[in-house]
Chains A and B, each alone.
Chain A
Amino acid sequence: MTTESETWPSTQSARRPWVDELQQWLTTVDHKRIGILYVLFAILFLVVGGIEASLIRIQLIRADHDFLAPQTFNQLFTLHGTTMIFFVAMPLMFGFANYLVPLMIGARDMAFPRLNAFSLWLTVLGGFLLYYSLVGGYGLYGVGSAPDVGWFAYAPLTSKTFSPGHSTDYWTLSLLIAGFGSIATAINIITTVFCLRCPGMTLGRMPLFVWLSLAMAMLAILAIGPLTAAQAMLMVDRYLGGHFFDTQAGGSAVLWMHFFWVFGHPEVYVLVIPAFGFASEIIPVFSRKAIFGYPIMVAATLAIAFVSISVWAHHMFTVGMTPAGNTFFVLSTMAIAVPTGIKIFNWLATMWGGRIEFRTPMLFCVGFLFQFLLAGLTGVMLASAPFNWQLGGSYFVVAHFHYVIVGAILFCAFAAFYYWFPKVTGRMLSESLGKLHFWLLVIGFHLTFDTMHVPGLLGMPRRIYTYEAGRGWEGWNAVVTVGAAIQAVAIGIFVINLVRAAFKGPKAGNDPWDAWTLEWSTTSPPPEYNFATLPVVRSRRPLWDLKHPEDPDWKYE
Chain B
Amino acid sequence: MVVCASQGIVSVWATATSVPLSPTNLFAPASTPAESIHQLALFILLVSAAIFLVVFTLLTYAVVRFRRRPGDPPGEPPQVYGSRQIELAWTIIPVLIVVVLFLSTSRVIFELQHPPRPPGAVMVTAIGHQFWWEYRYPGLKVVTANELHVPISDPANPTPTFLELWSADTDHSFWVPRLAGKTDLIPNRRNEMWIEPREPGLYLGQCAQYCGTQHAKMLLRVYAHTPQDFERWVKEQASPAREEPSVARGRRIFEQTSCVNCHTVAGTSASGRFGPDLTHLMSRETLASGVVPNNRESLRRWLENPSAIKPGALMPPMGLAADELDAMTDYLLTLH
Q: Which residues of A contact B (CB under 8 A)?
A: 69-71, 74, 148, 150, 154, 156-157, 162, 247-248, 250-254, 287-290, 292-296, 318-320, 322-323, 326-327, 330-331, 334-335, 337-338, 341-342, 344-346, 348-349, 351-358, 366, 369-370, 373-374, 377-378, 380-381, 383-394, 399, 446, 450-451, 453-454, 457-468, 470-473, 548, 551, 553, 556-557
Shortest Cβ distance from residue B162 to the other chain A in the assembled complex, whole angstroms: 13
Q: Is B150 in the interface zone, CB < 8 Å from A?
A: no
Q: Contact between A390 and B26 (Cβ–Cβ < 8 Å)? A: yes
Contacts of B330 in A (CB 8 A): none
Once bound together, how far apart are the Cα atoms of A463 and B210, in whole Å? 6
Contacts of B44 in A (CB 8 A): 380-381, 384, 387
Given contacts A162-B212, A295-B82, contact A353 B1 (CB under 8 A): no
Given contacts A247-B188, A319-B186, A356-B68, contact A377 B95 (CB under 8 A): no
Contacts of B83 in A (CB 8 A): 292-293, 349
**Between-chain CB contacts (< 8 Å), 7 pairs:** A319-B184, A319-B191, A320-B165, A356-B66, A380-B48, A463-B216, A556-B79
Query: Which listed residue, B109, B169, B191, B311, touches A323 by the CB 8 Å rule?
Result: B109
Contacts of A248 in B (CB 8 A): 187
What 6 A-B pairs are tightest by C-beta distance, nearest first?
A389-B181, A459-B24, A472-B22, A464-B216, A450-B2, A247-B187
Shortest Cβ distance from residue B334 to the other chain A in the assembled complex, whole angstroms: 29
Given contacts A247-B187, A344-B55, contact A450 B40 (CB under 8 A): no
Q: Contact between A387 and B1 (Cβ–Cβ < 8 Å)? A: no
Q: Is B101 in the interface zone, CB < 8 Å from A?
A: yes
Among A69, A348, A384, A551, chain B packs the most CB atoms within 10 A around the CB of A384
Q: Contact between A71 and B59 (Cβ–Cβ < 8 Å)? A: no
Once bound together, how far apart are the Cα atoms of A465 and B1, in whole Å? 28
Contacts of A387 in B (CB 8 A): 37, 40-41, 44, 105
Q: Is B157 in the interface zone, CB < 8 Å from A?
A: no
Query: Which listed residue, B67, B80, B86, B182, touches A389 by the CB 8 Å rule?
Result: B182
Shortest Cβ distance from residue B220 to the other chain A in the assembled complex, whole angstroms: 10
Shortest Cβ distance from residue A167 to the other chain B in the assembled complex, whole angstroms: 13
Closest chain B residue to A392, Cβ basis = B182
Q: Contact between A318 and B181 (Cβ–Cβ < 8 Å)? A: yes
Q: A290-B81, A369-B59, A384-B101 are in contact. List 15 more A-B contacts (CB 8 A).
A: A248-B187, A251-B188, A289-B79, A290-B79, A323-B110, A330-B105, A338-B91, A342-B87, A351-B62, A355-B72, A384-B41, A393-B175, A393-B208, A453-B6, A461-B173
Once bound together, how far apart are the Cα atoms of A290 and B81, in whole Å? 6
Given contacts A70-B312, A287-B66, A454-B6, contact A294 B81 (CB under 8 A): yes
Contacts of B6 in A (CB 8 A): 450-451, 453-454
Given contacts A338-B98, A348-B59, A374-B1, contact A327 B106 (CB under 8 A): yes
Contacts of A472 in B (CB 8 A): 21-23, 25
Shortest Cβ distance from residue A149 to the other chain B in the assembled complex, whole angstroms: 8
Shortest Cβ distance from residue B225 to the other chain A in the assembled complex, whole angstroms: 22
Given contacts A70-B311, A446-B2, A453-B7, contact A320 B213 (CB under 8 A): no
Once bound together, how far apart are the Cα atoms of A423 and B67, in whole Å? 25
Q: Contact between B208 and A253 (Cβ–Cβ < 8 Å)? A: no
Once bound together, how far apart are the Cα atoms of A369 and B102, in whole Å? 25
Shortest Cβ distance from residue A530 to the other chain B in the assembled complex, whole angstroms: 27
Once bound together, how far apart are the Cα atoms of A519 and B1, in whole Å? 36
Once bound together, how far apart are the Cα atoms of A357 and B67, in whole Å? 6
Once bound together, how far apart are the Cα atoms of A515 and B128, in whole Å? 60
Query: Which listed residue, B26, B68, B105, B165, touches A457 by the CB 8 Å rule?
Result: B26
Interface string of B141-158 (1 = CB under 8 A from A): 000000000000000000
Closest chain A residue to B89, Cβ basis = A345
Given contacts A373-B55, A461-B208, contact A353 B66 (CB under 8 A): yes
Contacts of B106 in A (CB 8 A): 327, 330
Q: Contact between A162 and B169 (Cβ–Cβ < 8 Å)? A: yes
Once bound together, how far apart are the Cα atoms of A373 and B3, in whole Å? 12
Contacts of B110 in A (CB 8 A): 323, 327
Interface string of B97-114 (1 = CB under 8 A from A): 110011001101110111
Q: Contact between A450 and B3 (Cβ–Cβ < 8 Å)? A: yes
Given contacts A287-B66, A352-B66, contact A373 B209 (CB under 8 A): no
Q: Contact between B169 and A454 (Cβ–Cβ < 8 Å)? A: no
Q: Contact between A253 and B94 (Cβ–Cβ < 8 Å)? A: no
Closest chain A residue to B99, Cβ basis = A334
Q: Contact between A292 and B82 (Cβ–Cβ < 8 Å)? A: yes
Q: Contact between A471 and B24 (Cβ–Cβ < 8 Å)? A: yes
Query: Which listed residue, A293, A337, A457, A468, touches B98 by the CB 8 Å rule?
Result: A337
Among A358, A389, A466, A468, chain B packs the most CB atoms within 10 A around the CB of A389
Q: Contact between B215 and A463 (Cβ–Cβ < 8 Å)? A: yes
Q: Contact between B25 and A457 (Cβ–Cβ < 8 Å)? A: yes
Q: Contact between A386 and B40 (Cβ–Cβ < 8 Å)? A: yes
Shortest Cβ distance from residue A293 to the other chain B in the assembled complex, whole angstroms: 4
Contacts of A553 in B (CB 8 A): 79
Q: Contact between B51 and A377 (Cβ–Cβ < 8 Å)? A: yes
Q: Is B58 in the interface zone, CB < 8 Å from A?
A: yes
Q: Contact between A154 and B87 (Cβ–Cβ < 8 Å)? A: no
Once bound together, how far apart are the Cα atoms of A127 and B294, in whole Å? 47
Contacts of A335 in B (CB 8 A): 98
Q: Contact between A458 and B10 (Cβ–Cβ < 8 Å)? A: yes
Q: Contact between B210 and A288 (Cβ–Cβ < 8 Å)? A: no
Query: Which listed residue, A252, A253, A556, touches B81 by the CB 8 Å rule?
Result: A556
Q: Is B133 in the interface zone, CB < 8 Å from A?
A: no
Among B7, B22, B192, chain A packs the most CB atoms within 10 A around the CB of B22
Q: Contact between A459 and B187 (Cβ–Cβ < 8 Å)? A: no
Contacts of A461 in B (CB 8 A): 173, 175, 206-208
Q: Contact between A157 and B63 (Cβ–Cβ < 8 Å)? A: no
Q: Contact between A470 and B23 (Cβ–Cβ < 8 Å)? A: yes
Closest chain B residue to A547, Cβ basis = B76
Q: Contact between B48 and A377 (Cβ–Cβ < 8 Å)? A: yes
Contacts of B211 in A (CB 8 A): 157
Once bound together, how far apart are the Cα atoms of A471 and B26, in whole Å? 12
Once bound together, how far apart are the Cα atoms of A366 and B60, in whole Å? 10
Given contacts A320-B184, A446-B1, contact A338 B95 (CB under 8 A): yes
Contacts of B175 in A (CB 8 A): 393, 459, 461
Shortest Cβ distance from residue A497 to the other chain B in the assembled complex, whole angstroms: 24
Once bound together, how far apart are the Cα atoms of A370 and B55, in whole Å? 9
Once bound together, how far apart are the Cα atoms of A352 and B205, in whole Å? 48
Q: Is B226 in the interface zone, CB < 8 Å from A?
A: no
Among A150, A248, A334, chain B packs the most CB atoms within 10 A around the CB of A334
Shortest Cβ distance from residue A155 to the other chain B in the assembled complex, whole angstroms: 8
Given contacts A292-B80, A378-B3, contact A253 B171 (CB under 8 A): yes
Given contacts A338-B95, A354-B77, A459-B175, contact A373 B52 (CB under 8 A): yes
Shortest Cβ distance from residue B157 to the other chain A in the assembled complex, whole angstroms: 26
Closest chain B residue to A447, Cβ basis = B2
Given contacts A342-B91, A451-B2, contact A366 B63 (CB under 8 A): yes
Once bound together, how far apart are the Cα atoms of A380 and B101, in whole Å? 9
Q: Contact between B209 and A354 (Cβ–Cβ < 8 Å)? A: no
Shortest Cβ distance from residue B69 to the other chain A in the assembled complex, whole angstroms: 8
Shortest Cβ distance from residue A17 to the other chain B in the assembled complex, whole angstroms: 48
Q: Contact between A320 and B189 (Cβ–Cβ < 8 Å)? A: yes
Shortest Cβ distance from residue B163 to the other chain A in the assembled complex, whole angstroms: 11
Shortest Cβ distance from residue A542 to the other chain B in the assembled complex, whole angstroms: 15
Once bound together, how far apart are the Cα atoms of A45 and B213, in whole Å? 26
Among B23, B94, B106, B109, chain A packs the most CB atoms within 10 A around the CB of B109
Given contacts A348-B62, A351-B62, contact A459 B182 (CB under 8 A): no
Contacts of B283 in A (CB 8 A): none
Query: Which listed residue, B41, B58, B59, B210, touches A150 by the CB 8 Å rule?
Result: B210
